[in-house]
Homo-oligomer: A and B are copies of this chain.
Amino acid sequence: MSPKALDYESLNENVKKVQYAVRGELYLRASELQNEGKKIIFTNVGNPHALGQKPLTFPRQVVALCQAPFLLDDPNVGLLFPADAIAKAKHYLSLTSGGLGAYSDSRGLPGIRKEVAEFIERRDGYPSDPELIFLTDGASKGVMQILNTIIRGAGDGILVPVPQYPLYSAAISLFGGSLVPYYLEETANWGLDINDLRQSVAVARSNGITVRAMVIINPGNPTGQCLSEANLREILRYCYQENLVLLGDEVYQQNIYQDERPFVSARKVLMGMGPPISKEVQLVSFHTVSKGYWGECGQRGGYFEMTNIPPKTVDEIYKVASVSLSPNVPAQIFMGLMVNPPKPGDISYQQFVRESKGIIESLRRRARMMTDGFNSCRNVVCNFTEGAMYSFPQIRLPPRAIEAAKRAGKVPDVFYCLKLLEATGISTVPGSGFGQKEGVFHLRTTILPAEEDMPEIMTSFKKFNDEFMEQYEDHRGYSRM
């Protein structure tokens, strides 16, 4: 009998080509070890609540009330919920038609899209149109929809930074397009060099690829750098010259751990450049409730905002969004709350500020502890995490370790990360899952373990690493560089 449609050999080849290391071999092995009773520290994915971060109280109160609207009529509701949470719940319920159980418009609730537009205007100083903002089940879903809209086939190329967050490579594979890598420069704090970018585009074109869009991740994942305004201007000018759509992954915009380079949105820079560039460059910007000091990953909420996208295209994107009816409504409310948090004078304001500052300041300290910890290890060098949630140290594997990996049938950084996992329970993602230059090896870890656990984790990492290096180093002369 010939193979069936869901036998492996007859599946859609694009599905098979997808790679997603964040939940790949290392994650699967870590899950196995956990099932066997080993204590695992999951730093493979930016999932703060899974590592003990507490949710912000106020938004949870509001969404709980929206889920249980009958409580709003209960005379005892004030014993469990503050008055401003009650008022906010009523406000958000009034924006729905039928509460959280009703599908919203496929673009999300109009009232919340308006709140998002107002947030963008406050942030950037330029008005934003709610009709060009679509709410999504997390940013990833939005990125996938836009890439699916752009990619027509293998001849369409998407510029993606390397190292990159593998959502991009995975989605491009799934939709049958071509990833055109541009390399970030590790020695320049993961900066982007426009000349390298030009080079990448030239190579792709000589291979018959039509380069159609460019992805930036700012702050960077896994690399943690913040793009400067000057760099963003260069990028936008380049997109204008080369007729590229810019996809701005800005999900870490609240996660900034230094003061020299604050977050600047691509849209703000674009608007500031004036015509013709500000009127011509097509930009789609992504945001989420999963990151920042919210970390509400499990709720799956996000949005994208479109700039300079023609109405007929917006209609097409709306139509395709309609096929899955609507993003989940509770997370839309989280998004509303995120862009419109308690204000000075509100009952919950002090608590909200205390909780959010506590999280972001601790993340800043953890970013520093982790960078310093890695840099204290033998054959490990690591740029400081300026933003986002990750540390991406370079692991300088001795030739004998590389040979041992080859004998074990593993990519060298996978080999290293598996040994790390078995020895310490620390579950990371090998740099090869994000892309890296030939012969250079990294790992990605989140900076999310609880602050009080951090010293022990870094000690445990250092012990493993330094013993690993001791074991594999060629004592006849391999130097640390």
Contacts of A99 in B (CB 8 A): 49, 55, 298
CB of A282 within 8 A of CB of B4, answer: yes
Among A50, A140, A309, the one with the most B-chain Cβ atoms within 10 Å of its Cβ is A50
Nearest B residue to A312 via CB reads B8
CB of B68 within 8 A of CB of A60, answer: yes
Report 13 cross-chain contacts, Cβ distance below 8 Å, ordered by A residue: A6-B282, A8-B310, A11-B149, A48-B102, A50-B103, A63-B68, A137-B300, A138-B324, A141-B324, A144-B323, A170-B323, A174-B323, A299-B329
CB of B299 within 8 A of CB of A101, answer: yes
Contacts of A138 in B (CB 8 A): 324-325
Within 8 A of B (CB), among A276-297: 280, 282, 284, 290, 294-297
CB of B322 within 8 A of CB of A11, answer: no
Given A47-B103, A68-B64, does the pair A20, B80 have CB atoms closer than 8 Å? no
CB of A15 within 8 A of CB of B282, answer: no
Nearest B residue to A63 via CB reads B67
CB of A328 within 8 A of CB of B137, answer: yes
Contacts of A4 in B (CB 8 A): 243, 245, 280, 282
Per-position contact with B for A63-94: 1 when CB-CB < 8 Å, else 0?
A: 11101111100101101100000000000000
Given A174-B323, A243-B2, A328-B300, does the pair A313, B79 have CB atoms closer than 8 Å? no
Copies of this chain per assembly:
2
Contacts of A16 in B (CB 8 A): 316
CA distance A141 to B51 in the complex (A): 28
CB of A98 within 8 A of CB of B51, answer: yes
The smallest beta-carbon distance between A75 and chain B, in angstroms, is 9
Does A148 count as interface, using CB distance less than 8 angstroms? yes
Given A98-B50, A326-B300, does the pair A148, B319 have CB atoms closer than 8 Å? no
Given A64-B67, A102-B297, does the pair A140, B324 have CB atoms closer than 8 Å? yes
Does A7 count as interface, using CB distance less than 8 angstroms? yes
Contacts of A449 in B (CB 8 A): none
CA distance A8 to B298 in the complex (A): 34
CB of B148 within 8 A of CB of A12, answer: yes
Does A152 count as interface, using CB distance less than 8 angstroms? yes
Does A97 count as interface, using CB distance less than 8 angstroms? yes
Contacts of A296 in B (CB 8 A): 100-101
CB of B299 within 8 A of CB of A325, answer: no
Beyond the given A48-B102, A76-B79, A96-B298, could you list 14 further A-B residue pairs with CB under 8 A, ordered by the A residue number? Answer: A4-B280, A6-B313, A18-B320, A20-B319, A22-B322, A50-B102, A53-B101, A60-B67, A64-B68, A79-B80, A101-B296, A140-B323, A170-B323, A298-B328
Does A196 count as interface, using CB distance less than 8 angstroms? no
Does A223 count as interface, using CB distance less than 8 angstroms? no
Contacts of A70 in B (CB 8 A): 57, 60
Within 8 A of B (CB), among A92-144: 96-106, 137-138, 140-141, 144
Does A167 count as interface, using CB distance less than 8 angstroms? yes
Point out residues on A near B: beta carbons under 8 Å: 1-2, 4-8, 10-13, 15-16, 18-20, 22-24, 31, 45, 47-53, 55, 57, 60-61, 63-65, 67-71, 74, 76-77, 79-80, 96-106, 137-138, 140-141, 144, 148-152, 156, 166-167, 170-171, 174-175, 212-213, 243-245, 280, 282, 284, 290, 294-300, 306, 309-310, 312-313, 316, 319-320, 322-331
The smallest beta-carbon distance between A97 and chain B, in angstroms, is 5
Among A148, A150, A300, A329, the one with the most B-chain Cβ atoms within 10 Å of its Cβ is A300
Contacts of A213 in B (CB 8 A): 5
Partner of A6, one of B48, B55, B79, B310: B310
The smallest beta-carbon distance between A277 and chain B, in angstroms, is 13
The smallest beta-carbon distance between A156 and chain B, in angstroms, is 8
The smallest beta-carbon distance between A316 and chain B, in angstroms, is 6
Nearest B residue to A176 via CB reads B176
Contacts of A140 in B (CB 8 A): 323-325
CB of B245 within 8 A of CB of A6, answer: yes
CB of A13 within 8 A of CB of B60, answer: no
CB of A298 within 8 A of CB of B323, answer: no
CA distance A340 to B80 in the complex (A): 28
CA distance A102 to B171 in the complex (A): 23
CB of A299 within 8 A of CB of B45, answer: no
Contacts of A174 in B (CB 8 A): 148, 320, 323
Contacts of A57 in B (CB 8 A): 70
Contacts of A300 in B (CB 8 A): 137, 326-329
